[in-house]
Amino acid sequence: MRVIFHIDLNAFFVSAEISKNPSLNNQPVVISRDSRRAVVSTASYEARKYGIHSAMPLYQAKEKCKNLIIVSPHFDLYRSLSNQFFDIIRSYTKMIQIASIDECYADFSEMITESYMQPYALAYKIQQEILNKLNLPCSIGISPNKFLSKMASDMKKPLGITIITKSNIKEILWPLSVNEMYGIGKKTAPKLIENNIKTIGDVANYSNYTVLRTILGRKALIYYQRANGKDDSKIEYDESDAKSISHSMTFERDLDSLEEIEEAYKNIVLALSERAKQYNLVSNHIGITLKSDYMHSLTRQMVINHYTNDYEDIYNYAIILLRRNYSNQQIRLIGIGMNDTLNIKDVKVQMSIFDMTSSKKKGEDINTFIEELNENNSLHLMKASDLLNKG
């Protein structure tokens, strides 16, 4: 039987700041730029008690909590801690799938079978190592598949460990509201409830598949199977040959200003950049996706003059695309993608064509390789930051 962990750092950006500034511990803290149209990136659990949550306008958060502490984001810190977090998981198994900058799936089936270690004991050991080495709390969900482990990790925060098996889903999973089912959006849940499908158990036992298909579309069968504890999706632990990677985020409320959307893009671009670096992927095709409150979708991409996986680079190009295409509509979902990706190994091969010696490459990091590739293609166009500065 498979043993899949979903490991999720709790309130990651806030926890990262606390790791460097312990005086913030147990305080109502949000990560946000302190500007008029800023939105909350992450809220501490103390701040959440006031009803503050991610993507909430900062002015509303201030109204809810008069003693709110606002901390500006430090993305270099988050990137560093994220890499250390994944390195700890990799010290136990190479079979991990990075889901975002602060969460991953890991397949421990082989390790547990060979060592006879209990899954809970292993999860506790990993959780304590992350806490002791990085001062970051995490929650871990354990199950035979990705869906159940994701649901399990959300049940106890912070520092929770939850096990869901096919034998206990009726007690643990089925009583939960459809609003809490991973993958069910804020627009879809009310439609299910209108048809008296109020809990995950209702989805699992719903007899009228035609109605379910009308509400959930082509994924109706997938949700039905997941509600019954079935999910055959694999751990995608090697994305080094992927042709494209992307990341998206759906918000609890519509974003209605360019400034809010630009701020929100920082988080998903950071997640995308870290995934790309993790698998040594680079691209010169950057694309964005915007979905309105009516879920009308707009996708745009641009071919840039160099290969990159750099956070600032991708963000700047994403903002160029956003400013060109945003027309004051209400936005519910944003996405960022890198298409036609190359592995850094392929970049090295291309560079050797341009007579670069292998001795020069030794010890150099990925950014050096990318820069040299650009130089030897004689591409000397403006950077994204230059274009942004020109308006």
pLDDT in tens, 268-308: 998 899 888 878 899 999 999 999 866 678 999 999 988 99
pLDDT band at 367 (very low <50, low <70, confident <90, very high): low
Would you tell me how many other CB atoms lie within 10 Å of the CB of residue 360? 11
One domain for residues 279 and 291: yes
Beta carbons of 321 and 286 less than 8 angstroms apart: yes
One domain for residues 221 and 330: no
One domain for residues 2 and 107: yes
pLDDT band at 133 (very low <50, low <70, confident <90, very high): very high
pLDDT at 368: 55
Per-residue model confidence as pLDDT tens digits over 149-168: 999 999 999 999 999 998 99
Task: Please give the C-alpha separations between residue 310 and each of 145, 172, 194, 338, 375, in angstroms, as whole numbers.
Answer: 32, 42, 45, 11, 17
The count of structural domains within the chain is 4
The pTM of this model reads 0.73
In the set 17, 46, 63, 103, the catalytic residue is 103
One domain for residues 26 and 152: yes
pLDDT at position 119 over 80: yes
Tell me if 178 is assigned to some domain. yes
pLDDT band at 387 (very low <50, low <70, confident <90, very high): low
Domain that holds residue 231: 168-237
DSSP string, 174-206: TTSBGGGSTT--TTHHHHHHHTT--BHHHHHH-
One domain for residues 186 and 334: no
One domain for residues 312 and 384: no
Burial class (CB in 10 A: 0-12, 13-18, 19+), 294: exposed
One domain for residues 145 and 93: yes
Per-residue model confidence as pLDDT tens digits over 204-252: 999 888 899 999 988 899 999 999 999 999 888 766 666 888 988 888 7
Tell me if 42 is assigned to some domain. yes
Averaged pLDDT, 193-197: 95
One domain for residues 225 and 313: no
Tell me if 140 is assigned to some domain. yes
Tell me if 202 is assigned to some domain. yes
Known active-site residue 103? yes
- Residue 102 assigned ligand-binding role: yes
pLDDT at 250: 81
Tell me if 354 is assigned to some domain. no
- Residue 340 assigned ligand-binding role: no
Q: What 8-state DSSP symbol labels residue 279?
A: T
One domain for residues 152 and 191: no
pLDDT at 358: 40
One domain for residues 96 and 139: yes
Tell me if 147 is assigned to some domain. yes
